[in-house]
Structures are given as C-alpha cells and as structure tokens.
Amino acid sequence: MSHPHEPTGPAEPVEPIEPSAHRDLLPELREAGESLPGLARVAASAAWHTTGWGVRTSARAWLRVGRAVTDRDEAAALAREAATAIAAVGEIARAASTGTPLGKALVSAGSTLGGMVPEPVTEVINGQVVSSRAHHDKDAEPTLRERGQELLHKSRDVWSTDQGHPAFGRILSEVAPDEARILMLLLNKGPQPSVDVRTGGPVGMVSSQLIAPGLTMIGPRAGCRYVDQVPSYLNNLFRLGLIWFSRESLRDPMEYQVVEAQPDVLAAMHSVKFAKVVRRSIHLTPFGEDFCRTCLVEEEVATAEFPEHGTPGDGEAIEAH
C-alpha cells in the first residue's frame, strides 16, 4: 500500500536547465544598447544594468534559478522576463531612430519593464505543486491607499491621453434614454423655464404655501417617451450633478407664457382662491455640460458654441423637487 503523502505515479521527467543559460541573455541587452546614439545609449545601459540586477536579486530572493533546474514552468518564467527586457531596449532603439523624444521613449520602455512581475513562488506539499500566493492573491483588492497612489501616479503622467471625467462611465449606466433627451435639450436650447404655484393674496404675502412645484415643458420639448416621469428624471439628473435648479427666472419673460398656459399649471392655480406663479429656471451644471460634450454629441461638434448656462452661486440653487 502506498503512503498517502507519496506521489502515486512516476514523476514526469524535467529537462535540467542551467542557471547560466538565463544570464546568457544579458549580453544581448548590452549589444542592443551599444547600437543606440548618445543619451539613448546611457538609458539603455541603465536599463541593462537594472535588468541584470533584477535577475540576480530575484534569483537570490526567490531561489528561482535553482528551482528552474527542476521546474520547467519556473524556467519559462525567467526566460520570459529576460525576453521582455530585451524587447524594452529594442523599443528604445526603434523609437530613437524614428525621432521620438527620448523621454517619451524611456517612459514607454519603463512601462514594459514595469510589467515584469515575478511569478508566484511554488512549493511541493504532499506531492502537489502549490503556489504560495495563489490562495492569498486570488481575490485580493487594492487598498484605498494603493488606489490613491495609482491616481497620483496617473496625475503625473504628462503623456496620458485620458479624456473625460472617470465618473462619466458610471453616469452613462445610470441615465435613462429620456434623461439623455433632456440633457440634449438643455445643451442645445439653453436653460429651461420652470414655475412654482403658491398661495397668494393678502394671506400669501405673510405665509405662502407651495401648491405645485417645478412645472415645466421640458418633457414635450425634449420628446420624452414617458412625460409623466419627467419630475423623476430631473431628480436623478440633479442627483448625478448634471443639472441644477435656479431661484432666478430667465431674462426673456416670453419663455414662460407657454408654461403658464399648460393645464397642470392652470389646475394648480384654480385649486385655491388666491394663487401666484413664481418663475424659476433649470440649468446644466459645468460638470453636466462637460458630460454632454464628451458623451452625447459627435466629436467634431463637441467644441462648438452652445447656449450659456448659469453657474450656481451662494444661496442661488434650490433643492430638487
């Protein structure tokens, strides 16, 4: 009977690989570096020495070269890392020969070398090959501090081509089609009129009560499919920081004539003996305008002139209805 901790079958033969075989790749780095002119040669030399130090240090720290003698996967991992370093130096050479600024070429090559992460350490436990990091890192998430450091690193990347706020992707998944129509109306037609119906008369001068808030023509004007959902749409757009509700009226009083003639406004006014209409307005926020330009219009018209929106000042904005 075989012992439960002993392997039950013959071990697969592994072709021994000499540790010096991996060091033989380093002269190729030196040869590629010597083909570069001026400062590029200095950079390549630094990359070569850094790579050589990395391979030697990795071998001492993880005993990877010794393990590569009997572990085919470990040997392949070391070979891949050396090949990545050679490719990085070749990348600098090609970039320099085509006139790419040296600094940019070095950053690009540094990104390639930065991807050389040591493979997980393997151990043989009870006849099984187990990765010491497989269980620990399987579901590992970066800490908040690590994410913050990554964010600061990106802020220092002068060659970053990122466009638009990172929240735009999330916002797109939280905006309904009708809400996109409302945003396009505001972008193309400018701020929209809104009215509140309140109690008036002598009593209203002392204590006015709100009867119907935020009545607009935004739904029909934007072509919304579900006009009755417009108040909810506006609440969501306000929550996302894309629009704001101003206490101020629009400069042109003619904008309010159609709104004040709507059945819901007239019904609210006739529901009390004395009523008054308070004129408001709805605007895109600067963040909302940037969102529309980045996500909702064609790239060639994104820089066009659109109607101007007000910016909320102290005490000017009101809460969503």
Q: H or E segment at 213?
A: strand 210-215
The stretch 173-182 carries a mean pLDDT of 96
Residue 82 CB coordination number (10 Å): 23
pLDDT band at 189 (very low <50, low <70, confident <90, very high): very high
Radius of gyration of the chain, Cα coordinates, nearest whole angstrom: 33
- Per residue in 137-171, pLDDT (tens digit) is 556 788 888 888 887 887 777 666 667 788 999 99
- 104-113, 157-166, 169-178, 185-194: the lowest-pLDDT one: 104-113
Domains, the chain, in order of start with CATH, read 20-125 (no CATH), 168-318 (3.30.110)
pTM of this prediction exceeds 0.85: no
205 three-class SS = helix
> Is the predicted pLDDT of residue 46 greater than 60, yes or no?
no
Looking at residue 203, its pLDDT comes to 65
Token pair for 122:
């393997």
Nearest partner of 51 among 109, 115, 113, judged by Cα: 113
Predicted local confidence at residue 318, as pLDDT: 66
**Residue bearing the bigger pLDDT, 281 or 18:** 281
Q: What per-residue confidence (pLDDT) applies to 73?
A: 73
Asked if pLDDT for residue 291 goes beyond 90, the answer is yes
| Phi and psi at residue 29, to the nearest 5° | -60, -45
* pLDDT at residue 221 in the model: 95
pLDDT beyond 50 at 21:
no
Q: Which one, of 29, 19, 30, 27, lies nearest residue 59 by Cα?
A: 19
List the single range of 64-73, 160-169, 217-226, 263-272 with lowest mean pLDDT.
64-73
Mean pLDDT of the chain: 74
